[in-house]
Amino acid sequence: MSERITKNMARNIYFGGSVFAILVFAGLTVDTVGQVPKLSNAQNITESVAHGKHLWEKNNCVGCHTIMGEGAYYAPELANVFDRRGGGSDESFKSFMKGWMAAQPMNTPDRRKMPQFNLSDKEVDDISNFLIWTSKIDDNEWPPNIEG
């Protein structure tokens, strides 16, 4: 074998490597698309959950909070807030959320202030249902600790 790579050899390496990479990418895409229904918890989306997501976007909650690692890192991660503050009970979590949202903005020194959005009890319930639904998505152990 010669010590130099010819143009034909370089072309074959380029095209062979490209075809291999495309096949690996296609295989991984098919695998991911096949796993999404099992991981997404989509079968539990209700009208209340969808409205809670709409309120999340309308009030730009992601401008301060993260959810499953997406968003701003100014305020706490909320993908597991149901586990942290609700203890697995929907009613306890909804009560916590109603009290928390009503108490904003808190005048605690050295603490970031969350605005008062003046949401109705139904809107707080809808956001709570969205956060409960989000906590049941298989997010591969994200966030890495309970406090987000």
Query: Cα separation of 78 and 148, whole Å?
Result: 7
Q: Name the CATH superfamily, with its identifier, for domain 44-148.
A: Cytochrome c-like domain (1.10.760.10)
Segments making up each domain of the chain, as ranges = 1-39, 44-148
Region of residue 104 (phi > 0: left; psi between -120 and 50: alpha; otherwise: beta): beta
In tens digits, the chain (148 residues) has pLDDT values of 557 889 999 999 999 999 999 999 999 999 999 988 888 888 889 999 999 999 999 999 999 999 988 898 888 899 889 988 988 899 999 999 999 999 998 887 877 788 999 999 999 999 999 999 999 888 877 777 777 6
pTM of this structure: 0.76
